[in-house]
Structure 1
């Protein structure tokens, strides 16, 4: 019987959602130098949800935040600590390694950390807003051989921790499923509204230690099976045309051969 929750929350440092990204001159990626970064919004929801579970008197033993990347990802780990995470782990790698990191490699690393931390619930965003791949959570569940629930908009944990009930966002509505711990849950944007960390919490977070790990220490090989061929700006949207009435609109549509 599970007596308490040990929650692992992966968080990623991404270009801030309010920034319009620019394609690099070599056409192989997005320009990141000198651009504002912040915590991936989907991952921030998961830190908030983990803290709320504790506030709802669910027996949460530990909330552990983990982030992969260069030392700059300490920023998002500090954000997680300020919001209420108990521990932070940094999987250290260069920006070049992170840019080429594949979801399966990251899932292997997270699986290793989940085992080390004796986690029984992993909460992570359904996708990162920079890559939009949306694969890591599913791969992680497969590697751990745990049940999973994706695109969660509501997470309810029974007081005895026997059952976790998840409401999922699906086409045309919502679906409710339940599973037993341990499990993996990926978050939809409707899960909650993250809090702003209080200044005292931010100051305390700056002094908390961050544990450093590497892929090598976790026994994970950084395999590369995909190559980015080209990244380009979306086509410029053409201006619309005003029509006087329905008849003119139909005539224009026919002229376009639609």
Structure 2
């Protein structure tokens, strides 16, 4: 059986740290980002960890792990973390403070895939800021590659990749040949921490900086946010002692 060397692309997104409760900004246009801790998106961290584990399981199998982030200049921080954890090279597509929708993200990633000659893309199933869960599927469509979403287990045997994914009734097993797009679920693995020596070494690893125009992509918005507000506070419930009292309360509320 022929075995292709894996050239893995791992997109990583800079998001507000998962431990922080988001607050709506004063203009009600989005979430407050000033003075807030940012970190690598948890699902992206899982995707990165999986790519590193694949290499650790068979060092001759993986040619390169390339991390890419689309975001502001500060997003190079999450790329440095990715490099410290085990990525070999990285690319920052600097879009400033502009929010990039999934289709534009997928188009940018398609260009990076072509540039890096990647044959396996492992990315988080969603980002915890916009929760879109669309980029992986759109990217697979643009590339015309098979896709396996919500992966809870990944096994590679030559050019064949077997992915187990969680579904409502239990688990679903898919098998496809490279090239392939995989999106990761929470239970796939537990990401490692970047050690301080590796953080220092990562400063010497390649970090290429590009703009969307360098890749020939124009970022267009298809959605307009009119207003962002907190959900209304729900009224406290009422305990009742009997069915008769429940019926009485429902009648008072004109529910029956």
Q: TM-score, normalised by structure 1?
A: 0.92
Inter-CA distance 255–185: structure 2 relative to 1 (3 Å threshold): farther
How far did residue 168 of structure 1 move?
A: 1.0
| CA distance in 1: counterparts of 2:143 and 2:174, whole angstroms | 20
Alignment of 1:57 with 2:54, yes or no, is: no
Alignment of 1:123 with 2:122, yes or no, is: yes
SS of structure 1 residue aligned to 2:175? strand
How far did residue 208 of structure 1 move?
A: 2.5
Structure 2: 5+ residue stretches without partners: none
| CA distance in 2: counterparts of 1:206 and 1:235, whole angstroms | 46
How far did residue 242 of structure 1 move?
A: 3.4
Structure 1: 5+ residue stretches without partners: none
Which residue in 2 is equivalent to 1:224? 221
Greater Cα offset, 240-249 or 228-237? 240-249
Inter-CA distance 156–28: structure 2 relative to 1 (3 Å threshold): same
| CA distance in 1: counterparts of 2:40 and 2:34, whole angstroms | 16
Q: How does 1:236-247 map to 2 (within 5 A)?
A: 236-244=233-241
Contact persistence 2:88–2:205 (CA under 8 A): no
How far did residue 141 of structure 1 move?
A: 0.3
SS of structure 1 residue aligned to 2:127? coil
| CA distance in 1: counterparts of 2:232 and 2:169, whole angstroms | 30
Which residue in 1 is equivalent to 2:144? 145
Alignment of 1:67 with 2:69, yes or no, is: yes
Which residue in 1 is equivalent to 2:112? 113
Q: TM-score, normalised by structure 2?
A: 0.93
Number of aligned pairs?
253
